[in-house]
Amino acid sequence: MIDTMPGLVFGFVDNAVLIGGAYTGYEVDRFFKGNGSLGMMVGASLSNTVSDALGAVIDPAMAGMAAGIIVGCLLPMLVIPVIEKFKKEKAA
């Protein structure tokens, strides 16, 4: 069945790790007295990077794409501090 559905393994691994990372980031942020949103964003972003890389390595249909996927996942994280700065300025 896996052979007839390219990307099935990738999709499963991708979302399973992402969900775990988002919840973990949320809880870590709340532990440090945050509201959970920044932790969830960072946790989801980092776990998405890890899950995409794992999925690309494990799924034969994605062979050789891991490095590009990792860089592509990390680049948008550069926007998180900018958004957080604007959020704080707007709240003040």
The parent domain of residue 84 ranges over 2-91
The more confident residue out of 92 and 54 is 54
> With 80 as the cut, is the pLDDT of residue 92 above it?
no
CA distance 90 to 70: 32
3-state secondary structure of 19: helix
Give 14-67 pLDDT, tens digit per residue. 788 888 888 888 888 888 888 888 888 888 899 889 888 888 888 777 778 889
- The rounded radius of gyration (Å) of the Cα atoms in the chain is 16
pTM score, whole prediction: 0.72
Number of domains in the chain: 1
What is the sign, positive or negative, of the torsion defined by CA atoms of 51, 54, 58, 61?
positive
43, 89 Cβ separation under 8 angstroms: no
- The percent of the chain in helix, strand and coil, each rounded to the nearest 5, is 85, 0, 15
